[in-house]
Structure 1
Amino acid sequence: MLIFRLAIPSPLHRLFDYRPPVYGAVDAAPGCRVRVPFGNREVIGILVDRVAETESDCPPDKLKAALEVLDEIPVLCDELYQLTCWAARYYQHPLGDALQQALPVLLRQGQSDRFQHQTLWRASQDASLSQLASNAHRQRELLQLLLEHPQGISTDALKAEGGDPKLLRTLESKGLAASMEKRPQLPHADEQEQVLREAPLTLNNEQGAVVSRLQQANGFLPLLLEGVTGSGKTEVYLQAIQHVLEQGKQALVLVPEIGLTPQTTARFKARFNVPVLALHSGMTDRQRLDAWLWAREGSARILIGTRSAIFTPLKHPGIIIVDEEHDGSFKQQDGFRYHARDLAVYRARQLNVPVLLGSATPSLESLQNALSGRFEHLRLTQRAGNARPPKFELMDIKQQTLDAGLSSGLLARIHQHLRQGTQVLIFLNRRGFSPALVCHDCGTPVDCTRCDARMTLHRQPPHLHCHHCDRQTPIPRRCSQCGSDQLRPAGSGTERIEDRLQVHFPDVPIHRVDRDSTQRKNALERIMTEVHKGEPCILVGTQMLAKGHHFPKVTLVAILDADAGLFSADFRGMEKTAQLTLQVAGRAGRADHPGEVVLQTMQADHPMLNTLVHAGYEPFAREELRLRQGGHLPPFSHHALIRAEANRQGLAENFLLSLREWGQQYLPEHVHCIGPFPALMEKRAGLFRAQMLIQAGQRKPLHQALALLVSMMQEHPEARRVRWTLDVDPIDSY
């Protein structure tokens, strides 16, 4: 007798055996969903294999029976199933949970992998009002409505037009009406023979070389496109996709942020006559499933989505594009900690299609892959059209008096650009009014009681907010230490900058763009509409302004705290600072107006900062790679981070210490455990956190070590008191 071996969504790194359901479906194929009892609840598992009952570790009479096989054919095609299994092994994540994450939410809940059909009613072919009695007024009214809608009408629509849906069955029994099922329509499906809606732009020589190389690709081609901001990377994407569409294939485009998805989708819809669908977390579960199904059947020709879109099925795959490939949001930071960029490369190899990684500031991992020959490396060094690169200036603010972070020199420069009728962008990567509220008498700051962090002061509405655990409190009237009422803001956030700019420029519109100001639906779109009118204004914002936006009238970009990442405890701090600096700087001078970028800094002579702004990103990146190689840091070594947290100080560190002591006896050679040590923020959301770094020069011994460590952690006697996670190829701060 064969038994089912299932991957169940649970934190356990193992499979579970079940007897087949009592009625049928014993020949279900791997990848099908199966409803099973699990503990005191029912869950949806994925069939991994069918094996003889003699291969089970559990006695046959102890095996529970599966309740139901939900799919006739696997809901996960073989290609996606293999991709997810590989990702689960690579990131050392439980297979059951990984397979669930690859499915839309409704499929995880056991709903059908079919479109949700709508029941419509219409009049029968020979129906007429004369077939009803003259005094059957309500039936005649209902039939008249059906006759007016020969394509069918829903019961809700009938009711809205004054009809009585209760009488539909009566008309049906008389042969005057019939119901039918209609699947949802694919949005913006023009179904025209021509792929293009508007003519493509003329490419320069560099752009043409990239498009030509992609058109010549016959199978898998990993290509890194390094293009300065404003160099026309999106036009390259569009023309590469045009070639794919003309072959009857599909394109998958990954973008880093949900905020960029509507803009990118709008540009693709304007260019192409084919269905373009967005996939992101802002969609309802039903919308997400419908888009997934349209992609699976091949109707959706262009898919644009954030990181989870990498698990979208493609019937006719043609190309995968990862825009802003360096962006950290492609790495999932909790649960299944995959990196969508790396999965995109693996999946393109599976599908035997080109994969294009585009960025003005490529990650050092991708650059090293290009330098070593694993990726083909092409560059766009010129801005598109007549746009010229912006001019950089390091503005030394040592010993200067600042007004909420604004120097007098910068204020004068803002005045100058506004008088010219152009726009200004002020970048500060701290939201809120002030990063701290401090007692002026004793110097005590107001701390979060659940984190090792200061509470951030907000003025709209007035409150204190911890941006780490989301704790919010009213603003205290007195200091908790000395009782003084002299509590004052220290430092500046975007709200405070906005306030001060309104004082200096009372007649100029000021638009703040951060997570707080764009919470309401369509808030960001409304701000962008105002900015694109071209009138003089000032934009103040955080990272939300750094990516993908095109502001033709912005001629001055000011970065208020250019030193923020220069001395980070994270070895990636300099790389992230450089990427963010150049991405923000890229918003200046993108059209006919020359651009200027001012970086306020107290380290105007910093060698890496000078290399970045005067020589460009590639010389900076090569020097950074040289330093990384000397320090045996990624991409020249491979890391995994074990994080542990507990509700009592010391528990997490002791857990990791015992793990290290065990590992020193059994782990492969050349695999090193560094730590344990407290996290940079030891206490967060009421839990005490520690971490241990696992480092190796080669991937294979690292993964062998991680498999052993995972097995040990699951059986560790303290595992019930300590919550642990494993992050392979971590990108955030250690």
Structure 2
Amino acid sequence: GTPRYWLAVALDVPLADSFDYYHDLPVEVGVRVRVRFGHRELIGVVVGQPTQPQFEVDQVKPIEAVLDDTPPLSNELLELARFAARYYQRFLGEVLLPALPMPLRKPSAYTSPKANGGPVARLRTRKAKAPPPYEPDQRPTLNAQQQAAVAAILSWPRPNLEHTISRAPAPAPSGQTGCVVVPQPAPSAAASSTAPPQLNLRASGTHLLFGVTGSGKTEVYLHAALQVLGQGQQVLFMVPEINLTPQFEQALRQRLQTATQSYSVAVMHSGLSATERLRAWLAVSQGEADVLLGTRLSIFTPMPRLGLIIVDEEHDSSYKQQEGLRYSARDLAVWRGHQLACPVVLGSATPSLESWAHAQRGQYQLSQLTERARAVSLPDIQLIDIRRAPLEQGFSQQYLRAIHEQLAQRKQVLVFINRRGYAPVLNCASCGWVSQCRRCSAYTVLHRQPGSTKPYLQCHHCGFQAVVPRHCPDCRNQDLKPMGRGTQRIEEYLSTAFPAARVLRIDADSTRKKGSAEALFAQVHAGEIDILVGTQMVAKGHDFANLGLVLVLNADATLFAQDFRAPERLFAQLMQVAGRAGRHIGGAKVYIQTEYPEQGVYQHLLRHDYVGFANHLLAEREALALPPYSYQALLTAEAKELSTALSFLNAARTLLSTDANLRPWAQAVQIYDPVPLRIVRVANIERAQLLVESPQRQALQRFLLPWRMQLHTLARQHRIRWVLEVDPLEI
């Protein structure tokens, strides 16, 4: 009969790493195939060619079709997916398939009557977008520190990629959490002194570019990128959030079109349509685009000529996926760079403690930019003690005077409050009723957009919306008051207090429509706005030329949060928002209102002292055996009843002592008692969690694999949803 070629196919189902199928012709590893799985049709990726199937031969189904409209996924990308699946405790298909653009993993894109030969064929029939107009090269000169940083990045030996992929050793589990670290020689005494950062530059393939806000990190990235592109290689440039891509894209397109050479840039983020993302993916994976600018999902894009990976704002929590495969794109960038022996640059004004600890031990090469690029000084940070100060809608008199002064000087003002909506809760002064979400254990937030439709209540956890009641549902009192302040209320107040000023609000509500964020930021850059009110969206990476004053409201809100990472996050956030001020003009000021001016986070901030604060936090973490001095995984369970979730977690915990395969790890791993989440109910689902910790990364990983297999069985008995997250950012 016809010969059968056995194929191991990865599918996006949480049952196994691969499933056996056959075809009457050989199929290359990395090729996508359409298969029947139960009663469904799915698209999978061939990940192996076994000599014999795992099951009885007559149980193995044939594949329905070979999809050869894209090149096979490279061995390098398959290795990255295998590592991510192993490390983050998922099945291979759960990593590999979601990493593809939607049309490439949707069977109907090939089988529906409108398929027209599949998504790639349909794309080719459409007109390609015209390239951007040519702009002459306007390359700024670098200062000495920036030149040294570029030299450090590019001095990493750059072997031929083709020969590296198959031979590259797997990195050893590191002594730190959050990053996979490659064993490195110890830095020389000279390298650890205050000498310029080009000493001992070949010690590491990962570079931590630590530069104060406005120090010109982007210039270092662009110079390094141009030199790598000049060698015929590709560059992956990652940013944490969608709203940062337009300004970086503009800078890249301007600077990568030199008088002699024009390099093409592809952009990838979740705000693109499926077709736009597919077009970018194809351009990069087929080597046509030279630069990929993208958010975290871009780390899984095939890049045949990859020669440099840049992760801007590497400390940002947006690099950690919070749904499905809970991976850190930054950590996978480090691993991918090591596999390819290509340099990885992690840039930040406030590096994560994990990255800072690596650099302190010489596992990452540290390059520092201590001065602002335009020879303007860092802004003057001042704390405003509001313990006894009267506030008007959250503003001290000092704040209001400072706004008047800036407006008189025709400078822009940024008011930062990390809370959207009008007010966090609606309250009845008579009986104490508060606006509670009926589906969550959380308040509904009052939304009232200036000059728009009726106010409404919205839950920021499940999206539930309700009309604002005319009177209290409990005591019928009509005097319901908004408590606290969000961006909309601040915008309303400032528009009244400064009627001549042009006030603009930028937050998740004002930027919902596609292209709206770019349009709003363009107004700020064009000088059409006097006062900008914004959330953390405005704090990251933006370069406002005429911003002379930053005012921070409600900074104390996260000061005493239960999460041990809260101080690190608060410092980074305040340092970032402060860094928006005075990037082009001198004499800029940053004011922070607080009831706790003596707190360490504020005292270090006054001095722009990231190094002192980071070393202080690391000493605390080491004393308490917290990451990066221990390794964690978080098991979360969701059920209709909290008791069901807790019972599942308790059963999962006892497996450590009762299961023979797990008992050997009892000494190396600690499992804490299950606890309900802080917001226990979301969308009528109750949630609880259990923390697993170990002083060794390898011990934790070796325990998690057999434990996860048992959890699949356990979950079926308890009828719950569960997720296991490695290196959780929030506990």
Is the structural similarity TM-score above 0.5? yes
Alignment-mate amino acid for residue 649 of structure 1: L
Query: Pick from 296, 319, 324: which aligns with 1:307?
Result: 296
Q: Tell me how far 1:312 sits from its aligned partner.
A: 1.5
Query: Pick from 14, 18, 21: which aligns with 1:15?
Result: 18
Q: Tell me how far 1:670 sits from its aligned partner.
A: 1.6
1:52 partnered with 2:51: yes
Q: Distance in 2 between matches of 1:600 and 1:614?
A: 16
Q: Tell me how far 1:216 sits from its aligned partner.
A: 2.0
1:474 partnered with 2:474: no
Alignment-mate amino acid for residue 481 of structure 1: D
Q: Counterpart of 1:86? A: 83
Report which stretch shifted further, 567-576 or 27-36: 27-36
Q: Counterpart of 2:697? A: 699
Cα gap change, 1:718 to 1:97, in 2 (>3 Å): closer
Cα gap change, 1:506 to 1:41, in 2 (>3 Å): same
Q: Counterpart of 2:328? A: 339
Q: Distance in 1 between matches of 2:245 and 2:129?
A: 18
1:216 partnered with 2:209: no
Q: Counterpart of 1:716? A: 714
Q: Tell me how far 1:118 sits from its aligned partner.
A: 7.1
- Structure 1 unaligned regions, length at least 5: 120-180
Q: Distance in 1 between matches of 2:302 and 2:631?
A: 30
Query: Pick from 546, 556, 559: which aligns with 1:553?
Result: 546
Q: Tell me how far 1:5 sits from its aligned partner.
A: 2.1
Q: Counterpart of 1:232? A: 216
Query: Pick from 651, 656, 676: which aligns with 1:658?
Result: 651
1:244 partnered with 2:228: yes
Superposition pairs for residues 361-380 of structure 1, below 5 Å? Answer: 361-380=350-369
* TM-superposition CA deviations, 1:17-66 (whole Å, max 9, x none): 23x13xx32x112222222211111111222222233x52x322223332
Q: Tell me how far 1:186 sits from its aligned partner.
A: 6.5
Q: Counterpart of 1:607? A: 600
- 1:564 is paired with a residue of what secondary structure? helix
1:266 partnered with 2:250: yes
Checking the alignment, whether the CA contact within 8 Å between 1:422 and 1:534 is kept in structure 2 is no
Q: Tell me how far 1:698 sits from its aligned partner.
A: 0.9
- 1:539 is paired with a residue of what secondary structure? strand
Alignment-mate amino acid for residue 336 of structure 1: L
Checking the alignment, whether the CA contact within 8 Å between 2:461 and 2:682 is kept in structure 1 is yes
Report which stretch shifted further, 342-351 or 664-673: 664-673
Q: Counterpart of 1:142? A: none
- 1:506 is paired with a residue of what secondary structure? coil
Superposition pairs for residues 140-289 of structure 1, below 5 Å? Answer: 185=128, 187-188=130-131, 197-219=136-158, 221-273=205-257, 274-289=263-278
Cα gap change, 1:342 to 1:616, in 2 (>3 Å): same
Checking the alignment, whether the CA contact within 8 Å between 1:655 and 1:718 is kept in structure 2 is no
Report which stretch shifted further, 311-320 or 516-525: 516-525
Q: Distance in 2 between matches of 1:696 and 1:118?
A: 51
Alignment-mate amino acid for residue 511 of structure 1: L
Q: Tell me how far 1:68 sits from its aligned partner.
A: 2.2
Cα gap change, 1:501 to 1:62, in 2 (>3 Å): same
Alignment-mate amino acid for residue 210 of structure 2: E
* TM-superposition CA deviations, 1:137-188 (whole Å, max 9, x none): xxxxxxxxxxxxxxxxxxxxxxxxxxxxxxxxxxxxxxxxxxxx86854652
Checking the alignment, whether the CA contact within 8 Å between 1:295 and 1:314 is kept in structure 2 is yes
Q: Distance in 2 between matches of 1:520 and 1:536?
A: 20
Q: Tell me how far 1:557 sits from its aligned partner.
A: 0.3
- 1:650 is paired with a residue of what secondary structure? helix
1:728 partnered with 2:720: no
Checking the alignment, whether the CA contact within 8 Å between 1:465 and 1:471 is kept in structure 2 is yes
1:673 partnered with 2:616: no
Cα gap change, 1:114 to 1:205, in 2 (>3 Å): farther
TM-score by length of 2: 0.87
Cα gap change, 1:530 to 1:5, in 2 (>3 Å): closer
Cα gap change, 1:187 to 1:252, in 2 (>3 Å): farther
Q: Counterpart of 2:72? A: 75
Alignment-mate amino acid for residue 228 of structure 2: V
Q: Distance in 2 between matches of 1:482 and 1:695?
A: 49
Q: Distance in 2 between matches of 1:708 and 1:477?
A: 56
- 2:674 is paired with a residue of what secondary structure? strand
Q: Distance in 2 between matches of 1:602 and 1:88?
A: 46
Cα gap change, 1:719 to 1:104, in 2 (>3 Å): farther
Q: Distance in 1 between matches of 2:607 and 2:514?
A: 40
* TM-superposition CA deviations, 1:619-651 (whole Å, max 9, x none): 101100110111111111110100001011211
Structure possessing the higher radius of gyration over alpha carbons = 1
- CA RMSD, Structure 1 to Structure 2 (Å): 2.0
Checking the alignment, whether the CA contact within 8 Å between 1:448 and 1:454 is kept in structure 2 is yes
Alignment-mate amino acid for residue 199 of structure 1: Q
- 2:478 is paired with a residue of what secondary structure? coil
Superposition pairs for residues 318-329 of structure 1, below 5 Å? Answer: 318-329=307-318
Q: Distance in 1 between matches of 2:441 and 2:675?
A: 15
Q: Counterpart of 2:500? A: 507
- 1:294 is paired with a residue of what secondary structure? helix
Cα gap change, 1:718 to 1:102, in 2 (>3 Å): closer
Alignment-mate amino acid for residue 226 of structure 1: F
Query: Pick from 269, 291, 298: which aligns with 2:280?
Result: 291
Checking the alignment, whether the CA contact within 8 Å between 2:210 and 2:347 is kept in structure 1 is yes
Aligned-residue sequence identity (percent) comes to 42
Q: Distance in 2 between matches of 1:278 and 1:654?
A: 46
Cα gap change, 1:185 to 1:530, in 2 (>3 Å): closer
Q: Distance in 2 between matches of 1:613 and 1:516?
A: 32
Query: Pick from 571, 574, 578: which aligns with 1:585?
Result: 578
Cα gap change, 1:115 to 1:714, in 2 (>3 Å): closer
Q: Distance in 2 between matches of 1:585 and 1:47?
A: 50
* TM-superposition CA deviations, 1:367-414 (whole Å, max 9, x none): 011111110011111001132100011101113332221112211111
Alignment-mate amino acid for residue 109 of structure 1: K
Q: Counterpart of 1:63? A: 60
1:34 partnered with 2:18: no
Query: Pick from 671, 683, 686: which aligns with 1:685?
Result: 683
1:522 partnered with 2:515: yes
Query: Pick from 634, 652, 663: which aligns with 1:641?
Result: 634
Query: Pick from 417, 439, 451: which aligns with 1:428?
Result: 417
Q: Tell me how far 1:615 sits from its aligned partner.
A: 5.0
Structure having greater relative contact order (Cα 8 Å, sep ≥ 6): 2
Alignment-mate amino acid for residue 79 of structure 2: Q
Q: Counterpart of 1:166? A: none
Alignment-mate amino acid for residue 33 of structure 2: V
Checking the alignment, whether the CA contact within 8 Å between 1:394 and 1:604 is kept in structure 2 is yes
Alignment-mate amino acid for residue 41 of structure 2: E
